[in-house]
């Protein structure tokens, strides 16, 4: 009697993903062995794209993921997309462009009309209207303190240089163009929601300390009216682990996070982004204060599985 033979397992279908990132990111998580090996075991191979050569002359990619903004790259990608419509491109440059302007990036949040979700009051001061800095308070839209942010977001160090503006002296020291955003006391905690397709993860980070009226006057005198810093969650004026009770701050409800992330993803037409959200200490709800394209997903716990799941789900949904 012939012995029963074990059925041979089907070979894992492999997908090739090309990535094109700015030099300063140095490949990001695509260079981390823990991620590369985890993805390879599940059928995904990554290769760095040579942005100096036509995409058509390089490997037949199943997917291209990128974070480049120069015109040469856009033309290269546009030509490739026209000739290779089956290749998945993450994400279309036209959709990414919306997040490069700090005014237009938050418009989509307001359009969602999700209960208990809004954005802070904002005001754009253009380069040719610096005289309007002195009349900001007269508009009635903003009051001290406020956050000053560069208008353009291009991933450079300059685009992450923010200022906490405490009084009129600090306001007049700003160099337009600039976006002024109302500072809202939020318990020194920021919620960073990472979105990769259907995969959503929310984490807590330290943020700027709350500022009472009494403290505002004191800090204004000590600082000259303005305090410069980089990203809010990495700021030196954020709460330290020693004096923060952020661990006790309750996370937003999972269903609220999921609904907001998925509806925002569809509204933006993007797959890879994160948004920074705070909870108003007055209890009036949550505010989205920033949206970033293709952030550092490697900062997430177990990001290897998070990102591999994203790529696999994306590939399989396009091959069904």
Q: Which residues does the annotation place in the binding site for 1D-myo-inositol 1,3,4-trisphosphate?
A: 25, 67, 160, 192, 292, 296
- Residues annotated within the binding site for Mg(2+) are 276, 290, 292
Of the CA atoms within 13 Å of residue 25, those in its CB half-sphere come to 21
Q: Determine the Cα–Cα distance for residues 20 and 52; give it in Å rounded to an integer.
A: 11
Which strand (E) or helix (H) includes residue 256?
helix 254-268
Name residues whose C-beta falls within 8 Å of residue 142's C-beta, 6 or more positions apart in sequence. Answer: 121, 123, 136, 180, 182
Q: Determine the Cα–Cα distance for residues 44 and 251; give it in Å rounded to an integer.
A: 33
Q: CA torsion sign, 113 to 275 to 234 to 167?
A: negative
Kindly report the backbone phi and psi dihedral angles of residue 256, in degrees, each rounded to the nearest multiple of 5, phi listed first: -70, -45
- Residues annotated within the binding site are 25, 67, 102, 149, 160, 181-192, 207, 276, 290, 292, 296
Q: Determine the Cα–Cα distance for residues 162 and 272; give it in Å rounded to an integer.
A: 24
- Residues annotated within the binding site for ATP are 102, 149, 181-192, 207
Tokens standing for 311? 């790529």
DSSP string, 55-83: GGGS---SEEEE----HHHHHHHHHHHHH
Map residue 217 onto helix, strand or coil. Answer: helix
């Amino acid at each position: 009697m012939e012995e029963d033979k074990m059925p041979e397992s089907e070979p894992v279908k492999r997908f090739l993903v090309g990535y094109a990132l700015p030099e300063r990111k140095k490949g990001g998580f695509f260079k981390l062995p823990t991620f590369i090996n985890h993805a390879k075991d599940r059928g995904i191979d990554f290769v760095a794209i040579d942005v100096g050569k036509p995409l058509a002359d390089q490997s037949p990619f199943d997917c291209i993921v990128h974070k480049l903004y120069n015109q040469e790259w856009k033309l290269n990608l546009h030509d490739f997309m026209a000739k290779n419509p089956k290749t998945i491109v993450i994400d279309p440059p036209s959709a990414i462009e919306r997040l490069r302007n700090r005014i237009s990036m938050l418009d989509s949040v307001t359009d969602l009309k999700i209960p208990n979700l809004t954005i802070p009051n904002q005001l754009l001061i253009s380069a040719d209207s610096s005289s309007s800095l002195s009349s900001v308070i007269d508009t009635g839209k903003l009051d001290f303190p406020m956050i000053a942010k560069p208008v353009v977001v291009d991933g450079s160090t300059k685009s992450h240089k923010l200022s906490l503006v405490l009084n009129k002296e600090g306001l007049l020291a700003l160099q337009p163009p600039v976006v002024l955003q109302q500072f809202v006391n939020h318990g020194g905690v920021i919620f960073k929601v990472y979105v990769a397709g259907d995969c959503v993860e929310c984490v807590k980070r330290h943020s700027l300390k709350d500022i009472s009226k009494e403290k505002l006057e004191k800090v204004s005198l000590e600082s000259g009216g303005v305090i410069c810093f980089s990203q809010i969650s990495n700021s030196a004026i954020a709460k330290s682990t020693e004096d923060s009770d952020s661990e006790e701050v309750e996370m937003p409800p999972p269903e609220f996070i999921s609904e907001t992330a998925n509806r925002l993803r569809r509204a933006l037409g993007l797959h890879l982004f994160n948004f920074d959200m705070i909870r108003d200490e007055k209890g009036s709800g949550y505010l989205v204060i920033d949206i970033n394209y293709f952030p550092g997903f490697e900062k997430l716990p177990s990001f290897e599985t998070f990102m591999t799941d994203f790529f696999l789900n994306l590939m399989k949904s396009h091959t069904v």
